[in-house]
Structure 1
Amino acid sequence: MALIIERPQQTEYPEYYHTYMRQLPEQGDLFYLLEQQALDLRSMLLPVTEEQAQVGYAEGKWSIKELLQHMIDSERIFAYRALCIARGEEAPLPGFDENTYAYNSMANIRLLRDMLEEYELVRKSNIYLFRSFTADMLSYTGNANGKPITVRALIHIVAAHERHHMGILKERYLKLKA
């Protein structure tokens, strides 16, 4: 039987994720959305040259490569949190400083095509992980970055965070019309 992941209640995740979560459709197959996002990101970034990928949309803003690396790193962290909580971890899970991670990623010396491949492998691996969870595991609550959060919410946050950054890529970096 296929796992259906219902949308989490706002009480299942910290308030700072509300803006991201509002960007997700109210209903629909979350696994389909996760799979489609990977395809959409690849088609969006394939035409980008290495030179274009090393530039931010404004002074002091991350480059496309740094933003992509942030998306990869964040997805790994959200999935790790979901795994820990689903497996019954009771210890608080740490937060992370996205700017420090971006700075230390050295993303601009990597090839964009390698980063896209890594992104797709991370996404595919996480989809398998998420499908391995039981319906009960989805409601397990843990502590991440000092706040309570459910496994269900973390999986939705993966999709919502992605949607947020895809919008930024379209509107600010690539200036594409929706």
Structure 2
Amino acid sequence: MLADKIMPNEYGQAILFYTDKADKGTTILEVLENSKQAMKQYLQSIPDDKIDYQYANGKWTVAEVIQHIISYELIMTERALVVAGIKTDSLKFTFYTQSTTVAGAKNKSKQELLEEFTNVRENTIEAFKSLTDGELKTVGTLDGNIASVRMIGLCISGHQTHHFNVLKNRYGLL
């Protein structure tokens, strides 16, 4: 498994909150692919009439949780490329808040969210596929935490799993 190959100097303890929840795989590409399949299956299992459901007043809707997963992935992929030493065109995700990560979720159907997720994940996989082994092991600082590029990839998968658990436990969506 990839997690077994990662050296202790590639991460700080705080990052383990998400990386410990990452899908299994022997490479980061396998982890991201397995995570993609899990997301597609999970999204397809959500009843269409539950996409606008929120378990309490002021909490995110299911669509907003899914949009947050998608937005987080965009942010983290860009950060992974920056840590790898690849200059991105815009650095548009340098500053963000939790509320900005759900922007645009209103009025999106489950199918639209599934398509958006699939497109974003395919771009993420292509970005990670373009990196050398050395670039994947490059270490940088992420929100004050040490993380290698491949650990950032594990965060993408683990963040998704974390929110699946929220949807299961708080929203009652299995």
If the TM-score is normalised by the length of the shorter chain, which range does it land in?
0.7 to 0.9
Amino acid at match of 2:14: Y
One-letter amino acid matched to 1:54: D
Question: How far has the Cα of 1:148 moved from its partner?
Answer: 3.2
Matching residue of 1:37? 35
List gaps (5 residues or longer) in structure 2. 88-92
Cα distance in structure 1, aligned partners of 2:43 and 2:3: 29
CA distance in 2, matches of 1:74, 1:52: 22
Q: Is the 8 A contact 1:7 1:27 kept in 2?
A: no
2-side partners of 1:53 and 1:26: how far apart? 28
In structure 2, what is the equivalent of residue 79 of structure 1?
Answer: 77
Check if 1:170 corresponds to 2:157.
no
- Label 1:134 to 1:5 Cα distance change in 2 as closer, same or farther (>3 A): farther
TM normalised by structure 1 equals 0.79
Matches for 1:49-64 after TM superposition, within 5 Å: 49-64=47-62
TM-score (norm 2): 0.80
CA distance in 1, matches of 2:154, 2:123: 16
- Report the number of matched residues: 169
Question: Which residue matches 1:15?
Answer: 13
Deviation at 1:152, TM superposition (A): 1.8
Q: Deviations over 1:38-64 (max 9, x none)?
A: 222222222434441112223322111
Task: Name the residue aligned to 1:117.
Answer: 115
**Judging changes above 3 Å, is the alpha-carbon distance between structure 1 residues 6 and 85 closer, same or farther for their aligned structure 2 residues?**
farther
Contact 2:19 2:158 in 1 (8 A): yes
- Structure 2 counterpart SS, 1:149: strand
2:106 alignment partner, SS class: helix
Structure-2 change in CA distance of 1:150 and 1:95 (3 Å) = farther
Deviation for aligned residue 1:120: 0.6
Calculate the aligned-residue CA RMSD, in Å.
Answer: 2.8
Change (3 A) 1:125 1:43: same
Counterpart AA for 1:43: Q
SS at 1:108 equivalent: coil
Residue equivalent to 1:97: 97
Contact 2:23/2:35 (CA < 8 Å) preserved in 1?
Answer: no
Q: The residue matched to 2:140 in structure 1 has which SS?
A: strand
- CA distance in 2 between counterparts of 1:144 and 1:62 reads 25
| 1:117/1:55 CA distance change after superposition, 3 Å | same
Partner of 2:170, secondary structure, is helix
Larger CA deviation: 150-159 vs 7-16:
7-16
